[in-house]
Amino acid sequence: MRRTLLFTGILAAALAGSAAITGVSLAQSPADVVAARQQAMKDKSAAVFRTMRPFVQNGAGSLAAVQAAAETLASHNGKYQALWPRGTELGVAGSKTRPELWQQTDRLNQLIADMERNASAMAVAARSGDAGQIRTAFGGVVGSCNACHDAYQSR
Amino acid sequence: MTPTRAADATSARGTLGRAVGAVLGFAVAVLSAVPAGAQAPAGDPARGEAVFNAAGCYGCHTDPVGPGAPLSGGRALKTPFGTFHSPNITPDGETGIGRWTEAQFAAAVRQGRMPTGESYFPAFPFVAYARMTDADVRDLFAYLRAQPPVRKANKPHDLSPPFGWRFLLPVWRTLYFDDDSLPPAPGRPESWVRGRYLVEVLGHCAECHTPRTWLGGIDRSRAYQGVGGGGVHDGGAVPGITQNPRTGIGNWSDDDILFLLEYGMTASGGTLGGGMGEVVRHGTAKMSDADRRAIVAYLRSLPAAP
């Protein structure tokens, strides 16, 4: 009995770890997936627009906060694909994603690759503490946000 | 002559021959690329590029759907009056503006006159460009003439009657076109004056942000109040940009506006609708910070819409 409980516990821990990495688990409903990705978007939006933006524009806030925000943003790398499974398009559980996203695999993959590269560059720039590097990297990040939202977010 | 010197001399003659050939070839290529009758523009193309960006030429004169070569026209502009197709403004001698003189270019930009003397439809914002400075017109012409020529015939407009009747345009012009100078602005700082020029003339912001009359003229009594729907830009709504906090940008900080003009997103990460994303990408993002601040200074002075 104790062995069974231990095994179950290990399995549950492993599944939880897996879910944390991918952001969603296979057992999640479309509504859960949409909720998870909207939360992920809110986290990224706060990092980029509430923390990085005022720092880049007029030096408001602290470098430490920008570094933490950059790490938060980069921690989403590798998770984008799993957040947009089929069946979670516009009209499903408050989703704002236009169906073209699932029809343009190459374009989507490129946009995700660009975002991940820009997020990594932002983390490097933030660690350097160099204002010029941070400003340049920030432009890349915002460009990626804009490109994907412009392409696939319903207005 | 030693063999080495002979070899050097042969080599030198060969080099000289190749150089002369290259120069002649280049001259032939240049002469054949410049259409007969065209003169080298007197303006500064580097400065003209800044005018080109601020005036938003790229967006309307490049077809994003085709996609077409830059500035070769053919972009469909859907409006309540029908669909306009922008013309080719590359320096191609047959289908573009390669044979135009600077005077013809100035008449087109500031007076809305074709080289034939006919009027352009006001989808081309000559009402705003009418006050473009001589230097800016000259430099813009030099920049356009320095771009690669593209042979692509212009596509006719597809307009609903009576809006497609070009012979009515003189009437329209008497109602809505004037080329008076911008009024003096004593006491206004230099940045405000520059901002007014960028917003009212080069940027032609009123073309989209100000409602139009039923005849398609800009309704100055409702300047910059926004268009609720059925706007000239593909039928979409366009927000107001007066100081009204509800319908305009009265509760935006300077940083919010500057961020939008540089990055093409709102300060909270919202994307821009209609053509504004393009305006930023091809225009305001490429401006100097001083010019973006000048725009803010001028927008701040627009009275709040009622």
| pLDDT(B15) > 60 | no
pLDDT of the residue at B28: 39
pLDDT of the residue at B163: 84
pLDDT tens-digit series, residues B125-138: 999 999 999 999 99
Instruction: Out of B258, B264, B273, name the one closest to residue A146 (CB).
Output: B264
- Phi and psi at residue B208, in whole multiples of 5°? -105, -35
B contacts of A146 (beta carbons < 8 Å): 263-265, 271, 277
pLDDT tens-digit series, residues B137-154: 999 999 999 999 999 999
| pLDDT(B87) > 90 | yes
pLDDT of the residue at B274: 72
| pLDDT(B124) > 90 | yes
Nearest CA to B288 out of B50, B59, B129 is that of: B50
pLDDT tens-digit series, residues A23-68: 455 568 999 999 999 999 999 999 999 999 999 999 999 999 999 9
Cβ contact B277–A142 (<8 Å) = no
pLDDT of the residue at B88: 98
Spans in chain A with pLDDT lower than 70: 1-27
Sign of CA dihedral A46, A52, A57, A62: positive
Q: Which amino acid is residue A142, in one-letter code?
A: V
Residue B166 pLDDT grade (very low, low, confident, very high; cuts 50, 70, 90): confident
β-partners of residue B159 are B82
- Phi and psi at residue B158, in whole multiples of 5°? -125, 85
CA distance A50 to A45: 7
CA distance B22 to B63: 36
Q: Domain extents for chain B?
A: 40-181, 187-306
Cβ contact B265–A155 (<8 Å) = no
A contacts of B269 (beta carbons < 8 Å): 45, 48-49, 145, 149
Q: Domain extents for chain A?
A: 28-152
- Cβ neighbours of residue A77 under 8 Å, at least 6 residues apart? A116, A119, A120
β-partners of residue B85 are B76
Choose from B259, B261, B263 for mutation: most chain A CBs within 10 A: B263
- Of the ranges A108-117, B26-35, B160-169, B271-280, the best mean pLDDT one: A108-117
- Secondary structure tally for chain B: helices H, strands E: 12, 3
| pLDDT(B53) > 80 | yes
pLDDT of the residue at B10: 38
| pLDDT(B293) > 70 | yes
Residue A89, min C-alpha distance to chain B (Å): 19
pLDDT of the residue at B199: 98
pLDDT of the residue at A155: 78
Q: Does residue B259 sit at the A interface (CB-CB below 8 Å)?
A: yes
Residue B30 pLDDT grade (very low, low, confident, very high; cuts 50, 70, 90): very low
Average pLDDT value for residue range B151-163: 91
Q: Is B106 left (phi over 0), alpha (psi -120 to 50) or beta?
A: alpha
| pLDDT(B26) > 70 | no
For B163, the token pair is 């809006």
β-partners of residue B238 are B227
SS (H, E, C) B44-111: CHHHHHHHHHHHCHHHHHECCCCCCCCCCECCEEEECCEEEECCCCCCCCCCCCCCCCHHHHHHHHHH
Give pairs for B217-224: CB < 8 Å, separation 24+. Answer: B217/B122, B217/B172, B217/B175, B217/B176, B218/B127, B218/B176, B222/B305, B223/B302, B224/B248, B224/B302, B224/B305
CA distance B137 to B129: 9
Instruction: Out of B255, B265, B267, name the one closest to residue A145 (CB).
Output: B265
Give the 3-state secondary structure of residue B121.
Answer: coil
Instruction: Out of B259, B268, B277, name the one closest to residue A57 (CB).
Output: B259
Share of chain B above pLDDT 70, in %: 85
pLDDT of the residue at A13: 45
pLDDT of the residue at A21: 38
pLDDT of the residue at B145: 97
Distances (CA, A) of B230 to B132, B212, B234: 29, 10, 8
Q: Is the peptide bond before B67 cis (omega within 30 degrees of 0)?
A: yes
pLDDT tens-digit series, residues B200-221: 999 999 999 999 998 889 999 9
Q: What is the CATH number of domain A28-152?
A: 1.20.120.10
Which residue has better confidence, B11 or B280?
B280
- Secondary structure tally for chain A: helices H, strands E: 7, 0
Q: Is the peptide bond before B162 cis (omega within 30 degrees of 0)?
A: yes
Q: What average pLDDT is seen over chain B?
A: 87
Instruction: Out of A54, A142, A150, name the one closest to residue B263 (CB).
Output: A142
| pLDDT(B229) > 50 | yes
Q: Could you tell me if the ipTM is greater than 0.85?
A: no
CA distance B190 to B188: 7
For A79, the token pair is 């998770």
Number of Cβ within 10 Å of residue A147's Cβ equals 18
Question: What 8-state DSSP symbol labels residue B287?
Answer: S
Strand-by-strand arrangement of the B76-79 sheet: B76-79, B82-85, B158-159
Share of chain B above pLDDT 90, in %: 71
Cβ contact B259–A139 (<8 Å) = no
pLDDT tens-digit series, residues B56-70: 999 999 998 888 999
> Selecting from 1.10.10, 3.40.50, 1.10.760, 3.40.630, what CATH number does the domain B187-306 have?
1.10.760
**Chain A (44-103) residues lying within 8 Å, Cβ to Cβ, of chain B:** 45, 48-49, 53-54, 57-58
Is residue B271 within 8 Å of A153, Cβ to Cβ?
yes
Residue B234 pLDDT grade (very low, low, confident, very high; cuts 50, 70, 90): low
pLDDT of the residue at B162: 84
Residue B236 pLDDT grade (very low, low, confident, very high; cuts 50, 70, 90): confident
pLDDT of the residue at B41: 82
Residue B4 pLDDT grade (very low, low, confident, very high; cuts 50, 70, 90): very low
Is residue B298 within 8 Å of B198, Cβ to Cβ?
yes
Distances (CA, A) of B75 to B58, B78, B187: 10, 10, 42
